[in-house]
Amino acid sequence: MDKKVTKIGVLTSGGDSPGMNAAIRAVVRTGLYNNLEVFGITRGYMGMIDDDIVPMHSRSVANIIQRGGTILKSARCKEFYEFEGRKKAYENLRKHGIEGLVVIGGDGSFRGAQKFATEFDIPCIGLPGTIDKDMAGTDFTIGFDTAVNTAVEAIDKIRDTADAHDRLFIIEVMGRDSGYIALHSGIATGAENILIPEAKTNIEDLIASLEDKQRRKKLVNLIVVAEGDEFGGAEEVAKVVRQRLPDMDTRVCILGHIQRGGSPSCIDRLVASRLGYAAVEALMEGRHNVMIGIINNKLHYTPLDLAVKAKQKIDKEWLKIVKILAS
């Protein structure tokens, strides 16, 4: 039988995402409500190794639900890849009496948690916190909704200037391995083409569709490219387009890290609050080494090893819809 947890730790790891603060707040306040001691660990696994671990109180998480970034800060930690690093981290957690851990992050962070939890007797609960939405076992990841809305707002602005000058804009959005931000923001802004890592980019088809639009005097064109598209980013695509269609007035805009910041959307705050609450309940119920997600509005528990292996699949029907709607 699992022993009752009385002290838990929470950390954020990997690329930050809007809503991480709302998740921290929910973990801290749900823990305190249940008479648990809650510790905040700064800079992800780095803080575990460096013993940067502090008790959290209700006021420690006041006035953060609306803030982007993460008050616990985040980092990618090479030392945690090594057993020695993980052992040091474990010893520090034990020193504080921490018996359960909530890890808010993406697949890299869960890989670390999975390894740690199989070597040491500290149960880990993962909450999907990434703007990339590249995790199986959940319909939502904390931060995706805000990031995609940031991209939509920016692309709408680009459309104004594109229209004023009859230009083609090739816009690069984030997504090292995932096309979700590109797909959602591209559809929502009426992009002509969307290039994502999950679908092979046929540059000849792209050129043909631009030529067709030129013939039909469709002068405003927006192409949204995920940074991880196998053809390359926006600059690579622009190089070919400029070579093949020199008459087209082509510009590149890389949205970059603005997609990671900003005040979280209502959806991200709700998802983060619900998941943070659920993470504490899960630790108290004796669950371990699972990622908690939401599928069809119900909590869904995926073993950490599966959560890091499986990817969310993109429905290719969307790409067909893009072509039809942008005609």
Question: Which residues define the annotated binding site for ATP?
Answer: 15, 76-77, 106-109
Single out the residue of 107, 132, 192, 268 in contact with ligand F6P (rule: CB under 6 A). 132
Choose one: 19-27, 55-63, 129-137, 199-207; the region binding ligand F6P (CB under 6 A). 129-137
Query: Which CB sits closer to ligand F6P, 227 or 229?
Result: 227
Catalytic residue among 2, 16, 132, 156: 132
Whether 302 contacts 291, CB under 8 Å: yes
Report the candidate in 162, 240, 173 with the shortest Cα–Cα distance to residue 201.
240
132 tagged catalytic: yes
User: Is residue 107 a contact residue for ligand F6P (CB under 6 A)?
Assistant: no
Single out the residue of 101, 174, 225, 314 in contact with ligand F6P (rule: CB under 6 A). 174
Q: Give CA angle at 147 (203, 162), nearest 5°.
A: 50
Single out the residue of 38, 56, 103, 131 in contact with ligand F6P (rule: CB under 6 A). 131
Single out the residue of 10, 11, 15, 191 in contact with ligand F6P (rule: CB under 6 A). 15
Query: Which CB sits closer to ligand F6P, 132 or 236?
Result: 132
The DSSP-derived string for 171-191 is: EEE--SS--HHHHHHHHHTT-
Residues binding ligand F6P: what is the number (CB under 6 A)? 9
Query: Which CB sits closer to ligand F6P, 132 or 268?
Result: 132
Provide the minimum distance between the beta carbon of 219 and ligand F6P in the complex, in angstroms, as a whole number: 31
Measured CA to CA, the distance from residue 260 to residue 14 in angstroms comes to 12
Query: Which CB sits closer to ligand F6P, 92 or 109?
Result: 109
- Of all residues in the shown chain, the one whose CB is closest to ligand F6P is 15
Measured CA to CA, the distance from residue 48 to residue 199 in angstroms comes to 39
Single out the residue of 68, 112, 126, 175 in contact with ligand F6P (rule: CB under 6 A). 175
C-alpha pair distances (Å), 112 with each of 18, 124, 308? 22, 10, 10
**Single-letter amino acid code for the residue at 166:** D
Measured CA to CA, the distance from residue 236 to residue 199 in angstroms comes to 17
Whether 44 contacts 102, CB under 8 Å: no
Query: Which CB sits closer to ligand F6P, 133 or 274?
Result: 133
Whether 310 contacts 291, CB under 8 Å: no
The contact set with ligand F6P (CB under 6 A) reads 15, 130-132, 174-176, 227, 260
